[in-house]
């Protein structure tokens, strides 16, 4: 079960990566109509007016730090999806005993981080859309308000799907057996006992031991001891 879940999430991560790369690379994040020019598609890296596409540098338009930030979030999200997919596909063989839960948890965490970056980037772009007009050449006649394009919805779908699969993987991880905890117990050494054997002389001149190994009274001649 754990192996199938981890490998399955790895395949899904790579599929979501392809969709997200398409979303980031295409200029369909925002759509607006320009009078006499037709549709204008605005992407993260370029703008297309009619059949002509140009980057922001070619158009002489600079980008803000906010634009760089949400583009960076989408790039980081794509990298995390790639790393999660490659790492998960390493576990085609049965997972090591006791490590299934740990591995599944790590996969869920990485997928959650990827979805977080993507969704934050999507929300940031939606809040920044009012300033997208500043990327167009000054004085461009517009016939309608900006609208979200297909690339925006692809990215939003990728982020939402990543959240769903991350939650599912986290639930699967909780159902797996936890890794055994190996503890070491140090037993204190037994104290050493030094037995001193000594003898003494009684009035008759006979010697007898001071102690009896059996724990009985001292074996002197009065008790039947005969040296």
Q: Which domains does the chain have, with CATH numbers?
A: 2-175 (1.20.140.150)
Strands 207-209, 199-201: parallel, antiparallel or unpaired by DSSP? antiparallel
Strands (E), the chain: 30-34, 38-42, 46-49, 52-55, 147-148, 199-201, 207-209
Phi, psi of 209 (to 5 degrees): -70, 145
Among 74, 27, 35, 76, smallest CA distance to 55 is for 27
Is residue 1 very low, low, confident or very high in pLDDT (cuts 50, 70, 90)? low
- This prediction's pTM: 0.70
Q: Which of 68-77, 156-165, 206-215 is predicted with the least confidence, judged by mean pLDDT? A: 206-215
The per-residue pLDDT of the chain, averaged, comes to 78
Cβ 13 vs Cβ 85: under 8 Å: yes
pLDDT at residue 209 is higher than 80: no
pLDDT of residue 142: 60
Average pLDDT over residues 189-214: 55
Higher pLDDT pick, 164 / 94: 164
Residue 83 burial class via C-beta count within 10 angstroms: exposed 0-12, middle 13-18, buried 19 and up: middle
pLDDT of residue 173: 86
């Amino acid at each position: 079960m754990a192996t199938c879940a981890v490998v399955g999430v790895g395949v899904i991560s790579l599929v979501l990566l392809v969709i997200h790369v398409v979303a980031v690379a295409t200029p369909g994040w925002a759509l607006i109509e320009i009078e006499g020019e037709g549709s204008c598609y605005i992407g993260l890296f370029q703008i297309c007016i009619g059949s002509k596409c140009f980057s922001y540098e070619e158009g002489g338009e600079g980008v803000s730090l906010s634009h760089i930030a949400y583009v960076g979030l989408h790039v980081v999200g794509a990298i995390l999806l790639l790393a999660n997919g490659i790492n998960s596909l390493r576990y085609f063989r049965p997972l090591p005993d006791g490590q299934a839960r740990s591995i599944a948890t790590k996969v869920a965490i990485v997928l959650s981080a990827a979805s977080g970056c993507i969704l934050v980037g999507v929300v940031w772009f939606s809040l920044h859309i009012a300033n997208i007009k500043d990327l167009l050449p000054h004085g461009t006649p517009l016939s309608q308000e900006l609208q979200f394009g297909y690339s925006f919805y692809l990215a939003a779908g990728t982020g939402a799907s990543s959240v769903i699969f991350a939650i599912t993987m986290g639930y699967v991880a909780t159902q797996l057996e936890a890794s055994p905890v190996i503890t070491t117990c140090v037993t204190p050494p037994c104290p050493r006992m030094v037995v001193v054997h000594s003898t003494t002389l009684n009035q008759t001149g006979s010697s007898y031991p001071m102690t009896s190994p059996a724990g009985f009274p001292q074996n002197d001649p009065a008790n039947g001891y005969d040296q």
